[in-house]
């Protein structure tokens, strides 16, 4: 009988979470142990990436060994078994604990199934960081390639654990556990990767988080808004970054109630927060930290408000301009306004912009509802 069927909570359809979390804690320590004894991985983090020991420890960075069954072999580790047994609060023999350890590693997303149907380690030859929930519990891992010899050429640079009972990629925001729950942040910076969050922390840029490598979701944005009224999206200024910004600007619209706001910092092509902070250096004086921080903050301070971004997207989508076809641009903007809550200050800003351009056409739109404004646009066409 498997762990799933043997250890369900009374009147619950899911197995107990505590044993899964215990294995994830054990895996964190296991990965940290292997990092500490691997000179190549430590050199990568310290000399190539420029992370100091305090940041490596703060983010509990580790190393997944270059092997297919390194982690799975821990099923017989007595320390692991003792931890699992405590979490189950049940006396078991070693063979049963070994079997349950494998079940738990599968349930926690640490293993994957190969073509022969056998379990193998999900992370292989990667720098790994625990992904934590808002309470600081490790619920999964993210891994980054640091030596191309350890991975297939087509392997992704970043790899997350699979979705599990305690980890849903679309709902999790990396770095929220580091924020102060009692503090109202003037702005939270939403970056594209773990390394950006770690670098911004090391350089003293407060309030950085990131998604899970997939398109940002309403669920993730709502969690961020519980800490702030302003989210600043940090994207590369290239085509991919503009495309990601377009998706994000659309997703966030229904959440922009009241004074909630958003802006978009488009960084120079080929740059990300990590590279802007470091400027090619890996060893820093206090002055270097201050220069790097000011360099990034300058780009973040130049972020475009979401109203301007939506206007640019509207003009791009309709392939017209205010001067050539204002009614079509207005129609696109009204579509965005209709997706926002009625009390949205951002929506009011866009309505004001529409009003200005409508007045230039000697038409008044004062006091009109969204539906009436849409009819107004139709009549202008």
Query: Quick one: pLDDT band at residue 1, thresholds 50, 70, 90?
Result: very low
Pairwise CA distance, residues 134 & 178, whole Å? 8
If you search the block for the tokens 């301070």, which residue do you land on? 301
Pairwise CA distance, residues 114 & 124, whole Å? 14
Pairwise CA distance, residues 329 & 120, whole Å? 54
Pairwise CA distance, residues 116 & 71, whole Å? 18
Show the tokens assigned to 163: 């979705």
If you search the block for the tokens 């646009």, which residue do you land on? 377
Query: Quick one: pLDDT band at residue 3, thresholds 50, 70, 90?
Result: low
Quick: pLDDT tens for 91-138: 899 999 999 999 999 999 999 988 888 899 999 999 999 999 999 999
Pairwise CA distance, residues 106 & 163, whole Å? 11
How many CA atoms lie less than 13 Å away from 71 in the CB half-sphere? 33
- The beta strand positions in the chain, using DSSP E, are 62-64, 111-113, 119-121, 126-132, 138-145, 158-160, 188-191, 208-210, 230-236, 261-267, 304-305
Cα–Cα distances (Å) from 266 to 4, 182, 246, 302, 311, in that order, read 46, 30, 12, 9, 16
CA distance between the termini of the chain: 69
DSSP conformation class of 174:
B
Instruction: State residue 154's pLDDT score.
Output: 79
Contacts of 201 (CB under 8 A, 6+ apart): 55, 58, 59, 178, 208
Q: What does residue 80 show for φ and ψ, rounded to 5 degrees?
A: -60, -45
Cα angle, residue 95 at apex, residues 94 and 96 outer, rounded to 5°: 90
Give me the mean pLDDT over the 264-283 stretch. Answer: 90
Quick: pLDDT tens for 57-72: 999 999 999 988 999 9
Pairing of strands 230-236, 188-191: parallel
Pairing of strands 126-132, 158-160: unpaired
Given a cut of 90, whether residue 156 has pLDDT beyond it is: no
Quick: pLDDT tens for 133-144: 999 999 999 999
Instruction: State residue 215's pLDDT score.
Output: 86
Quick: pLDDT tens for 293-314: 999 999 999 999 999 999 999 9
DSSP H helices, 178-325, are 194-202, 218-225, 239-252, 273-278, 286-301, 306-318
If you search the block for the tokens 């600007």, which residue do you land on? 249
Cα angle, residue 90 at apex, residues 85 and 94 outer, rounded to 5°: 55
Residues paired with residue 117 on neighbouring β-strands, in sequence order: none
Residue of 307, 304, 312 whose CA lies nearest to 253: 307
Q: Residues 168, 217: contact at Cβ < 8 Å? A: no
């Amino acid at each position: 009988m498997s762990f799933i069927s043997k250890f369900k909570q009374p009147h619950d359809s899911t197995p107990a979470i505590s044993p899964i979390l215990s294995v994830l804690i054990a895996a964190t320590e296991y990965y940290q142990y292997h990092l500490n004894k691997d000179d190549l991985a430590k050199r990568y983090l310290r000399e190539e990436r420029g992370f100091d020991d305090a940041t490596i420890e703060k983010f509990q960075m580790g190393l997944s060994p270059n092997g297919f069954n390194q982690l799975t072999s821990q099923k017989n580790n007595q320390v692991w078994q003792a931890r699992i047994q405590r979490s189950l609060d049940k006396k078991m023999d070693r063979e049963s604990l070994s079997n349950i350890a494998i079940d738990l590693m599968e349930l926690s997303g640490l293993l994957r199934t190969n073509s022969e149907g056998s379990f193998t380690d999900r992370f292989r030859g990667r720098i790994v960081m625990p992904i934590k929930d808002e309470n600081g519990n490790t619920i999964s891992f993210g891994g980054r390639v640091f030596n191309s010899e350890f991975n297939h050429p087509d392997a992704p640079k970043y790899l997350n654990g699979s979705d599990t009972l305690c980890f849903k990629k679309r709902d999790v925001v990396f770095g929220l556990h580091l924020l102060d729950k009692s503090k109202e942040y003037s702005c939270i910076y939403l970056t594209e990767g773990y390394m950006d969050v770690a670098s911004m922390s090391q350089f003293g840029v407060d309030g950085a988080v990131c998604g899970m490598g997939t398109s940002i979701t309403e669920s993730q944005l709502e969690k961020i808004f519980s800490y702030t009224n302003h989210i600043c999206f940090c994207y590369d200024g290239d085509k991919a970054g503009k495309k990601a910004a377009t998706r994000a600007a659309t997703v966030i619209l229904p959440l922009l109630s009241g004074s909630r706001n958003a802006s978009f910092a488009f960084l120079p092509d080929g740059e990300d927060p990590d590279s802007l902070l470091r400027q090619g250096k890996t060893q820093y004086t206090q002055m270097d930290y201050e220069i790097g921080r000011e360099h990034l903050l300058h780009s973040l301070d130049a972020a475009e408000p979401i109203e301007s971004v939506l206007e640019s997207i509207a003009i791009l989508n309709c392939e017209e301009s205010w001067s050539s076809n204002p009614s079509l641009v207005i129609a696109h903007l009204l579509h965005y306004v209709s997706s926002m809550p009625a009390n949205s200050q951002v929506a009011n800003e866009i309505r004001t912009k529409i009003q200005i351009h409508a007045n230039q056409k000697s038409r008044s739109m004062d006091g009109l509802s969204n539906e009436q404004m849409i009819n107004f646009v139709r009549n202008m066409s």
